Amino acid sequence: MKVVTTITEMQSEINRQKELGKSIGFVPTMGFLHEGHLTLMKKARQENDIVVISIFVNPIQFGPGEDYETYPRDFERDLELAQGEKIDYLFHPSVEEMYPHSSTVKVVVQERTDVLCGKSRPGHFDGVATILTKLFTIMMPTRAYFGKKDAQQVAVVEGLISDFHFPIQLVPVDIVREEDGLAKSSRNVKLLHDERKQATALYRSLQIARETIENGERNPINVIQLIERHIKDETSGIVDYIEVYSYPSLNRLEKIKGSIIIALAVKFSRVRLIDNVMMDVN
């Protein structure tokens, strides 16, 4: 595995591989790799000649008062994990390399952002779309891999790729969970001992919601109330949102029908967790 820190070197490696006719699988990350990331890498490894991952904690997708400074980082551990997945290139630029001067252009996402996490994180998806536009331009990947845990991010990336005509196949990958159901996340380490136990209620509440819909419930308000009651009974967390939307357009629903997402965010004392399930409803 080659670690690359400059854009120029990364581009010349990519150009070389492209000239050799190689397909390129790209997994963008902010590091502190966990099994969710490793699953993306494994899938990329199976489907491409060359696999590139990026590790870059992108400052412009964090708002004021968010956890940019304290976002978990452990590059040495990440390096070992990436090596274990037989990654070809690890791109690890500095902030100065990615943002050498105050930006003249940024990407503004106009739809799919005023709901779910986007609602309480104004500008977050502009930051994500801006860094991905840069990374896609540098990597020119054949396929790009994203976890469905950040379902709103997947919806935004789908729009970015389609609107900007990037010749990239978006590959959304299923959520990887701990044995007790908690969705894997770099931020789980911030849960206090008791909160870690309580956090299993998030996925459980989504499963209860799914079962209720499978049994015929079609009113989103009833589903939301059911989830809220379960989380309030089982955890000390504070519900940020619980929503049922069409997917990937993320529109509010009068009646549950079609391709939908049930998504939630719950704040614990030091960390806010998100989770979701998606389903097709007749």
Contacts to ligand PAF from residues 87-126, by CB under 6 A: none
Rounded to a whole number of angstroms, the minimum distance from the CB of residue 52 to ligand PAF is 13
Q: For helices 220-234 and 200-214, what crossing angle results, to 10°?
A: 150
Separation in Å, CA 154 to CA 37, 142, 242, 243, 258: 15, 17, 18, 17, 18
Rounded to a whole number of angstroms, the minimum distance from the CB of residue 265 to ligand PAF is 15
Separation in Å, CA 20 to CA 14, 90, 143, 234: 10, 19, 17, 55
* Separation CA 14–CA 8 (nearest Å): 10
Contacts to ligand PAF from residues 134-173, by CB under 6 A: 150, 153
> In the beta sheet, which residues pair with residue 264?
242, 275
The residue within the footprint of ligand PAF, chosen from 30, 41, 209, 277 (CB under 6 A), is: 30
Rounded to a whole number of angstroms, the minimum distance from the CB of residue 276 to ligand PAF is 14
Rounded to a whole number of angstroms, the minimum distance from the CB of residue 282 to ligand PAF is 32
In the complex with ligand PAF, the residue whose CB is nearer, 4 or 132, is 132
Active site residues: 37
Sign of the CA dihedral with 249 first, then 127, 17, and 41 last: negative
Rounded to a whole number of angstroms, the minimum distance from the CB of residue 150 to ligand PAF is 5
Q: Which stretch binds ligand PAF (CB under 6 A): 102-110, 114-122, 128-136, 200-208?
A: 128-136
The residue within the footprint of ligand PAF, chosen from 28, 36, 172, 220 (CB under 6 A), is: 28
* Separation CA 186–CA 209 (nearest Å): 26
In the complex with ligand PAF, the residue whose CB is nearer, 100 or 258, is 100
Contact of 61 with 150, CB cutoff 8 Å = no
Rounded to a whole number of angstroms, the minimum distance from the CB of residue 28 to ligand PAF is 4
In the complex with ligand PAF, the residue whose CB is nearer, 78 or 244, is 78
* Separation CA 30–CA 80 (nearest Å): 16
In the complex with ligand PAF, the residue whose CB is nearer, 153 or 198, is 153
Can you read off the two tokens belonging to residue 101? Answer: 């001067």
Is residue 152 packed enough to be buried (19+ CB in 10 Å), middle (13-18) or exposed (0-12)? buried
Q: What are phi and psi of 265, to 5 degrees?
A: -140, 135
| Pairing outcome for strands 258-267 and 238-246 | antiparallel
Contacts to ligand PAF from residues 53-92, by CB under 6 A: 58, 61
The residue within the footprint of ligand PAF, chosen from 128, 156, 266, 274 (CB under 6 A), is: 128
In the complex with ligand PAF, the residue whose CB is nearer, 14 or 156, is 156
Q: Which stretch binds ligand PAF (CB under 6 A): 11-19, 25-33, 235-243, 254-262?
A: 25-33
Site residues for ligand PAF per CB under 6 A: 28-30, 58, 61, 128, 131-132, 150, 153
